Amino acid sequence: MNALLTDEYQLTMLEACLHEGMTSQAVFELYVRRLPPQRNYLVAAGLEQALELLETLTLDGAELDWLACRPGTSARTVDCLRHWRFEGDVDAMPEGTVFFPDEPVLRITAPLHQAQFVETRLLNIVHYQTLVASKASRIVTAAEGRPVVDFGLRRAPGAEAGLYAARAAYIAGFAATATSAAGLRYGIPVVGTMTHSYVQAHASELQAFEAYARSQTRRPVLLVDTYDVDAALAQVVPLVRRLADDGIPVAGVRIEGGDLARHARTARTLFDRAGLDGLDIFASGELDEHRIARLLADAAPIDAFGVGTALAASSDAPALETVYKLQSYAGEPCRKRAGSQVSWPGLRQVDRFLGPDGHMAYDRIRRDGERTSGGAPLLAPVMRGGRRVGPAPTLQDIRRHHQAQMRLLPARLRGLMPDDGSRYPVQISDGLRSLASSLAASDCRGRSEADALP
Amino acid sequence: MNALLTDEYQLTMLEACLHEGMTSQAVFELYVRRLPPQRNYLVAAGLEQALELLETLTLDGAELDWLACRPGTSARTVDCLRHWRFEGDVDAMPEGTVFFPDEPVLRITAPLHQAQFVETRLLNIVHYQTLVASKASRIVTAAEGRPVVDFGLRRAPGAEAGLYAARAAYIAGFAATATSAAGLRYGIPVVGTMTHSYVQAHASELQAFEAYARSQTRRPVLLVDTYDVDAALAQVVPLVRRLADDGIPVAGVRIEGGDLARHARTARTLFDRAGLDGLDIFASGELDEHRIARLLADAAPIDAFGVGTALAASSDAPALETVYKLQSYAGEPCRKRAGSQVSWPGLRQVDRFLGPDGHMAYDRIRRDGERTSGGAPLLAPVMRGGRRVGPAPTLQDIRRHHQAQMRLLPARLRGLMPDDGSRYPVQISDGLRSLASSLAASDCRGRSEADALP
């Protein structure tokens, strides 16, 4: 089902391109048009799955049969898809990179019909992981070093979203996920506690806690908010001692509802008095970066957080304006400019400049190949002729890269609220400006000498 | 990967239930806690995929290996999963049904360890489709009978979300989808136009329009907003005539950007003057129900709409508070009541009462089996002993059911803005209230005679 996970107009366009023989080299760039209102930066994610798509895209028998029976699909198109192999190049920002609107995250160079055909699913993959990584990075910042765990699967939009959310959150610094399949598929640490229903099914909370603790070989976390949190906590202290005597070390408690700060303080006080300072207090339940920040500002003694819905739905900004635009065809730069939507033409590169304090000072988008100095280019080759350039980075590498990026980010941009007065500066190079002006006069692709790419 | 698409705590709970032999009959109900701020009703969707999950859930070799190597999983648990077969019952509202907070959409009756284990993925499936169907129903209302097409895949959260969004939108009355795979998988009508990049890759818009039209066997729709819409429209009129002479009937134009109302009026005027009143005007580009309503209030002569991001992300309400709660265990009703989160206990049914005008007047949630009269029960048996009761309804059946539901919905609830003064009344039956009070006094499951289920 991979190949037909696309917009129907990719099939009509494939038909048209093959009909006309318009299969010259095309360059598309994927970027985000605008920052969501409350955001200061975005985090690139999804490249690994995008490259997997390009490497493995093929049609299965059912898809080919369906296409062949479908009115409007020529034998030529079915044949092209039957023998599909992506032969293009990809340049991209490494996953985990902090980036800004208008900056290309991914560039595809391939025959037009190939580069166009993969558009929809490329966007689908990169959009959602970038969305979640960008949200997760803020949540990690809010937690000020405390571990955060992805609890998103139940309200994630479908199966793949659950897996992608776990991966993107881990890239952005989450400590673990509750999604077992993400452990199997990506090697992300997986953690699990206990359910309310299990407590309810027992004659008493105490019985449930003890039975659960005795059934596990991993250190159990007790869920204390099925009924009355204070009553549950009072039972936990003697139980933890009793279990410790039997060699069962309880890891801590989880509180999901109610006044999390108050409950956490009650728990911490009880545990401290009982000398059980090794017990962790784990909070979850409709948390997001703002609620976590408020809890910590309120000095709530919480050791770790679980975040689900707000992460998987990126609730304050449920979509990004990701686009995939033709930048050049057959060596000539292109520009779309309908109404207010004007794009920068041609192949682009992003240079990042650091200030004297070692933090990011500004980015500059320039023409690829335009002379520059002092900045570090963000896009690098990752695929040539349909094959990867070098081995894929591990998830740990990507995670470390994002940590390093966050150390470079100026403090004002790490904050949870946007500071419009100090938006990160993204400059446009002189070369790119003059290419754009030279195209402004023409109705379509530039055809003059001046427009030729370097 | 199906079975491990779950929260890790389903594995710890499975371990604990098997350890203790807690495998008595449990009843869970899936419902939504609250309406999103701007909504008046919700639309049930996802049941078909939920039943598929229950019918087909098995672990593959990689999953079993991973589990066996994982610390904390006993041989007993691995064995249970190796021979997994869901043997429970399901009662549910038919897909497409309009429903309200606290009303059970789905009820699972099965041995505790089975009913608990499927929680996460059941929620994952039903949550997202219900979310999108609920959004789509509003968009269809806003379009006042004009066809609306799902354009959501590129910004849908992952592959499955793209497919589910197409399906849920179709249930709620969308006319078609742009997602080819949704045509193959669900038989939903698929439509596609042309891309901006194709226009850009040509030396002129006119060349692109003509080449595209001549390459298609289905009636082409011309995308007129790559550069200047007015200029493109002026070229369309003579081209359409010329193509008609050659036996190629253009279906219409698509406008994605700029002032859609103005562009549509320009197009309609041009087409009318030229006697081309058969050409349709198709609008898309960051549309949602409110923008569509404004365009139509502004008398924009638009014949059909494409809606993508706002649909797939359910942008005004990117998640619903769906929960899956234990209602009874071993024949005894359960109730969770931590802080403000108090749930209604026991097995429940929803009766819907119509008023003298034939519209829905109110719903009443009662104990399953409690005597009632005059209302129509919304939950019906759909699975018994792990096997479906009767054949699955077709997507067309489901779509018609939703249409019928919308005809029953009072006009004030069909509006796009919430009318808090006239929220749809959902009553609680006397029997359910008295069961709840009898449980209020106890700390956990009720154990008295009075609590026994009917």
Give the residue from chain A lying closest to B25, CA to CA. A201
CA distance B134 to B40: 10
**Which chain A residue has the Cα nearest residue B223?**
A9
Phi/psi of residue A45, nearest 5 degrees: -155, 155
In a domain, A277, yes or no: no
Q: For residues B262 and B268, give the distance between their C-alpha atoms in angstroms, rounded to a whole number.
A: 10
Cβ–Cβ below 8 Å for A178 and B28: no
Could you tell me if B405 and B398 are in contact, meaning their C-beta atoms sit under 8 angstroms apart? no
Q: Between vectors from CA A142 to CA A139 and to CA A148, what angle results, nearest 5°?
A: 55
Residues of B in contact with A20 (CB under 8 A): 211, 215
Q: What is the pLDDT of residues B40-89, one digit of tens each?
A: 999 999 999 999 999 999 988 889 998 988 887 899 999 999 999 999 99
Q: What is the pLDDT of residue A451?
A: 32
Q: Check whether A438 has a pLDDT greater than 70.
A: yes
Q: Which of A217, A225, A314 sits opposite B71 (nearest CB)?
A: A217
Over residues B94-140, the pLDDT tens digits come to 999 999 999 999 999 999 999 999 999 999 999 999 999 999 999 99
Q: B152: buried, middle or exposed (CB in 10 Å: 19+, 13-18, 0-12)?
A: buried
Determine which of A30, A74, A149, A215 to mutate to test the interface with B (most B C-beta atoms within 10 Å).
Answer: A215
Helix (H) or strand (E) holding A236: helix A229-245
Angle between the N-to-C axes of helices A260-273 and A289-297, in degrees from 0 to 180, rounded to the nearest 10 = 50
Are the Cβ atoms of B112 and A201 closer than 8 angstroms? yes
The pLDDT score that the predictor gives to residue B417 is 86
What confidence tier does A342 reach under pLDDT thresholds 50, 70, 90? confident
Contacts of A62 in chain B (CB under 8 A): 184
Same domain, yes or no, for B281 and B331? no
Q: Which residue of B has its CA nearest to A218?
A: B72
Based on the domain organization, do B438 and B344 belong to the same domain?
yes
Is there a contact between B7 and A445 if contact means CB atoms under 8 Å apart? no
Can you give the pLDDT at residue B454?
A: 30
Strand-strand pairing, A252-255 and A280-283: parallel
In the predicted model, residues of chain B with pLDDT beneath 70 are: 1, 336-341, 420-421, 441-454
* Chain B residue nearest residue A176, CA to CA: B8
The neighbouring-strand residues paired with A383 are A90, A388
- Look at residue B339 in the predicted model and tell me its pLDDT: 59
| Pair B391, B438 in one domain | yes
Question: To probe the interface with A, which of B2, B12, B179 has the most A CB atoms within 10 Å?
Answer: B12
Q: A258-297 in b/e burial notation, b at 16+ Cβ within 10 A?
A: bebbebbbbbbebbeeeebeebbbbbbbebbbbbbbebbe
Instruction: Name which of B7, B225, B313 is nearest A319 (Cβ-Cβ).
Output: B313
**Distance in angstroms (rounded) separating the CA atoms of residues A285 and A291:** 10
Residue A389 lies in a domain: yes
Do B48 and B61 sit in the same domain of this protein? yes
**Any domain includes B2:** no
What integer pLDDT is reported at residue B385 of this predicted model?
A: 97
Residue A337 has what pLDDT?
A: 65
User: Is B1 part of a structural domain of the chain?
Assistant: no
* Predicted confidence band of residue A1 (pLDDT cuts 50, 70, 90): low
pLDDT digits (tens, 9 = 90+) for A29-57: 999 999 999 899 999 999 999 999 999 99
Nearest CA in chain B to A120: B154
Q: How far apart are CA A415 and CA B385, in angstroms?
A: 54
Domain boundary residue, one of B250, B281, B312? B312
> What DSSP character marks residue A340?
T
Model confidence pLDDT, tens digit, residues B313-336: 999 999 999 999 999 999 999 876
Residue A47 lies in a domain: yes
Burial class from Cβ neighbours inside 10 Å (0-12, 13-18, 19+) for residue A383 reads: buried
Q: Is residue A148 domain-resident? A: no
Dist. CA A65–CA B104, nearest whole Å: 41
Mean pLDDT of A298-322: 98
The answer to whether the Cβ–Cβ distance between B212 and A16 falls below 8 Å is yes
Residues B254 and B204 in one domain: yes
CATH code for the domain in which residue A400 is found:
3.20.140.10
Contact list in B for residue A334 (CB cut-off 8 A) is 197, 200-201
Pairwise CA distance, residues B411 & A269, whole Å: 55
* Boundary of a domain, candidates B287, B312, B337: B312
Residue B210: CB partners within 8 Å, gap ≥ 6? Answer: B239, B243
Residues B292, B147, single domain; the answer is yes
Q: Are residues B199 and B262 in the same domain?
A: yes
pLDDT band at A453 (very low <50, low <70, confident <90, very high): very low
Are the CB atoms for B111 and B24 separated by under 8 Å? yes
Structure confidence at residue B373 (pLDDT) = 86
**Residue B158, domain CATH:** 3.20.20.70
What value does the mean pLDDT take over residues A6-29?
95
| B416 and B293 both lie in a single domain | no
- 3-class DSSP state for residue A351? strand
Confidence (pTM): 0.96
Question: Residue B422: its pLDDT value, please?
Answer: 74
Tell me: do B33 and B82 sit in the same domain. Answer: yes
Give the closest-approach CA distance of A94 to chain B in angstroms. Answer: 20
A-chain residues near B61 (CB < 8 A): none
Contact between B93 and B106 under an 8 Å Cβ cutoff? The reply is: yes
Distance (Å, whole) CA A326 – CA A122: 14
Long-range contacts of A35-38 (CB under 8 A, 24+ apart): A35/A100, A35/A101, A35/A418, A36/A316, A36/A317, A36/A320, A37/A317, A37/A418, A38/A316, A38/A317, A38/A416, A38/A417, A38/A418
CA distances, A306 to each of A47, A108, A310, B245, B323 (Å)? 26, 37, 11, 65, 17
Structure confidence at residue B147 (pLDDT) = 98
Per DSSP, what are the bridge partners of residue B305?
Answer: B148, B283
Nearest to A124 among B158, B216, B231 (CB): B158
The domain in which residue A435 lies consists of 8-132+317-451
Alpha helix stretches (DSSP H) within A26-173: 47-56, 61-69, 75-82, 112-117, 119-142, 159-171
Within a domain: B167: yes
Q: Is A361 within the bounds of a domain?
A: yes
ipTM value greater than 0.90: yes
- Counting one residue from A and one from B, how many pairs have CB atoms under 8 Å apart? 384
Number of domains in chain B: 2
Q: Does the pLDDT of residue A274 top 80, yes or no?
A: yes
Chain B residue numbers with beta carbons less than 8 Å from the beta carbon of A63 are 184
- What confidence score (pLDDT) does residue A339 get? 59
For residues B181 and B308, state if they share a domain.
yes
- Cβ separation A124–B66 shorter than 8 A: no
The residue-averaged pLDDT of A150-166 equals 97
**pLDDT for res B75:** 92
Q: State percent of chain A over pLDDT 70.
A: 95
Q: Across the interface, do A339 and B257 touch by the CB < 8 Å criterion?
A: yes
Q: Are strands B332-333 and B337-338 parallel, antiparallel or unpaired?
A: unpaired
Residues B282 and B151 in one domain: yes
A387-423 tens-digit pLDDT: 999 999 999 999 999 999 999 999 999 999 887 667 8
Q: Which residues of B touch A150 (CB under 8 A)?
A: none
The encoded tokens of residue B237 equal 């009129």
How many angstroms separate the CA of residue A103 from the nearest CA in chain B? 18
Listed in sequence order, the residues at least 6 apart from A426 whose beta carbon sits closer than 8 Å to its beta carbon are A100, A101, A102, A103, A362, A363, A364, A365
